[in-house]
Structure 1
């Protein structure tokens, strides 16, 4: 399991770097970042490995996971909120240059209706990078949520790529949203 967890955060950063390379739109490496669904902090490590030097904040509702993430000394601020449909977290809106979420959205944990809350955290023009199970991404529920954020001019889907066998053998999708 540790190998699976480690590879997914790195692939989220690969998704970001591929987006930056193909679009020419690069996130400043000294900008503010929030890791949504921090877990044990492996995404924070991956974020630092691609050169981010600014503050990285953590959003993680599990106290035990939160404690393990703190041990890595990567995160500046900690938020312990749950992502709940139609409820804002205590995270400041329009505050982050990059929002990263790895393995959080699924039919078992955080539902697609929480996508708007994750996007709310990003500054206008900032990026949201999400890595999730491909089957859930392709579900009608998540597809409808993405269509709605584009229709409502909240964000645009700017980049998409697929990875084989990432989450316990399930394929994954990494994508980048540009907040409008």
Structure 2
């Protein structure tokens, strides 16, 4: 089984049940490109060039879709390489309504497509014969995989009083492996 934690700063983190970890994508690059496109649209809007704005928006969507395809392909290749038969993904429905965000991340949460990335992972995994199951993401980045206590991460670092410490997104992926599957068809990990 492999657990995948989706996010903004690190688009995807995968952890196998044996403990092999891999970080996918570059959140800083994604954020930079979104800021760049937003700035160009703002300049074109001041000049009243509506057709150019539409054209630029399609370019941004194509760029984002390309990034999602590349990340999903890398994830499925990682799963194949590690002989994984099941991928656990977070079911991120209503993420825009339920997430508390700072002003600097607000625009990114509302524009980044977690759903599209999950769909790309799902169809590429099915083509490779790998089953995809969705789990409830509640508290996956706060629960200690060692002692199961809830702790808040400080920036990107997660540490627990029991002595366990690692990257926050890695903790999320580790907990996603063992989280109950939505729909009740859970496999033991």
Is TM > 0.5 for Structure 1 vs Structure 2?
A: no
**Larger relative contact order (CA 8 Å, sep ≥ 6):** 2
Higher Cα radius of gyration:
2
- Structure with greater strand share of residues: 1
